[in-house]
Structure 1
């Protein structure tokens, strides 16, 4: 077997002397070792702001009839781990998963990873990431999975709202403004999220449910502005359904007293 130089470099702390890592582009299985139940970030998309790194965990189950020797996972963005986008790789700090024995043949394993803007996160790698994983048994059987799990890494979004005037006479016009922005991992700041469909929603003071009023689009500066008629006391908010690279977000409702 040919040692995969890329993976060896990315995970130098792995005990590669115990196993030569096979070539990319296909899963490799030797013997009865299996990897299953892979969960990233508790099953939720990873939403990361403009500057602060986020630490996430990956858990998975390894089985081998001789018992589990060691395991590891690596996170990446790209076609495969040998062709990941520049810098878009996350390695756990200890280089090897922590595996807890369940019984003679099964272990539950966990690795933690830092997702950091400007380091392994740049704007172009927002979206779908993958988990590369490997595990070995005490009898030197092994399994390598090139895509053990896919998950989302998203640029965190922010949404504001302001409804005016307050108070307002019944039947008069209410102007609702706001702004949609999201994390810019390249600059370390939040920037306008342009040309996105955003819903204006309203909740009566006596209700716990928002209903849609209309849909508008954010401008080139991320600004939102529209008008509606005042009918009863209640809360206006903007709500963004999310995209392939940013999560859904809703502004905190702004209360309007109707006289």
Structure 2
């Protein structure tokens, strides 16, 4: 699901006029859930002019009515690493609490997690799952639910500026026999609830790191030059580009041992390239190691073995 940032500033409605499925997923089984969620969520938030909750008394014309449903104990991975094209899923669990008048056993009662970038009232972007969550009752008024967030970077769901902290949310809707795809769909008969600020996760641009130590072999006491490159996913052109001006450690592991030791720290250049020198002493493996940032995950290059003679 994508909410493009260019329309996120639309006043009062969470920019949901751009709420759409990735084209590649239009024929999938999950597309009906996405479409239903989009239509109901858009109407609910448009009716409240951007408020985080709407009146539980009477639904406005053209809007769903508020259900007595709340969410808690939202759990998601600390970070989600997203490349340039591959579909990425991350699991979410949460607790759904409902009033006695809410029939969570109905076939058309649906709930699911989502994450959003920016504010809950007017997010810059939102990401959903292909399917609704599955829930199991833990009492007469609570359910433990598990769902997925599905991300398709190849379908332009993300801008590079979306990397960083996202907030967790969950929603529920009772269609009550209404078909959102029908011309006779009466949204005022649909129940709806959602809640934001349930947790956070980092959505990060996948990183890559290479290393090449030369010459190989080398005489003891001679200089070794270690090349490499730090790059990360660009979600806008679907390629990997150098991550510039980042601190990266050159590390060494002696042959026959399992622990790397940091030799020095250098900075990637304006293309993400790395280059430094060190003195050959014993056989072993050289690698570069990047600690990561809020927008880009940590990564270690595969060690390059150098035979010292």
Is the pair's TM-score, using the shorter chain for normalization, greater than 0.5?
yes
> Matched residue pairs, number?
247
* Residue 305 of structure 2 corresponds to residue 258 of structure 1: no
The 3 A distance-change label for structure 1 pair 256 and 111 is same
Matches within 5 A, 1:120-135: 120-135=157-172
Question: Structure 1, residues 175-208: CA drift from partner, whole Å, max 9, x if none?
Answer: 1100111101111110011111000001111211
* Residue 266 of structure 2 corresponds to residue 229 of structure 1: no
Which of 97, 101, 105 lines up with 2:141 in the alignment?
A: 105
Question: Structure 1, residues 98-136: CA drift from partner, whole Å, max 9, x if none?
Answer: 222234333221222321225211111111111222358
The 3 A distance-change label for structure 1 pair 16 and 183 is closer
- The 3-state SS of whatever aligns with 1:147 is coil
- The 3-state SS of whatever aligns with 1:243 is coil
Matches within 5 A, 1:1-259: 6=14, 10=19, 12-14=35-37, 23=48, 24=50, 26=52, 33-40=69-76, 43-64=77-98, 66=100, 69=104, 70=109, 71-80=111-120, 82-85=121-124, 88-94=125-131, 96-117=132-153, 118-135=155-172, 144-259=194-309
Looking at structure 2, the residues matched to 52 and 163 of structure 1 have their Cα atoms a distance apart, in angstroms, of: 31
Q: Which has the higher helix share?
A: 2
State the 1:171 CA deviation: 1.2
Looking at structure 2, the residues matched to 25 and 132 of structure 1 have their Cα atoms a distance apart, in angstroms, of: 15
State the 1:91 CA deviation: 2.5
State the 1:56 CA deviation: 2.3
State the 1:39 CA deviation: 1.8
Looking at structure 2, the residues matched to 223 and 16 of structure 1 have their Cα atoms a distance apart, in angstroms, of: 48
Are 1:136 and 1:142, in contact at CA under 8 Å, matched by a contact in 2? yes
Looking at structure 1, the residues matched to 79 and 231 of structure 2 have their Cα atoms a distance apart, in angstroms, of: 18
State the 1:90 CA deviation: 1.6
State the 1:152 CA deviation: 0.6
Pairwise CA RMSD: 3.1
Are 2:280 and 2:308, in contact at CA under 8 Å, matched by a contact in 1? yes
TM-score, L = length of structure 2: 0.70
Gaps of 5+ in 1: none
Looking at structure 2, the residues matched to 254 and 195 of structure 1 have their Cα atoms a distance apart, in angstroms, of: 23
Gaps of 5+ in 2: 1-11, 20-33, 57-66, 175-190
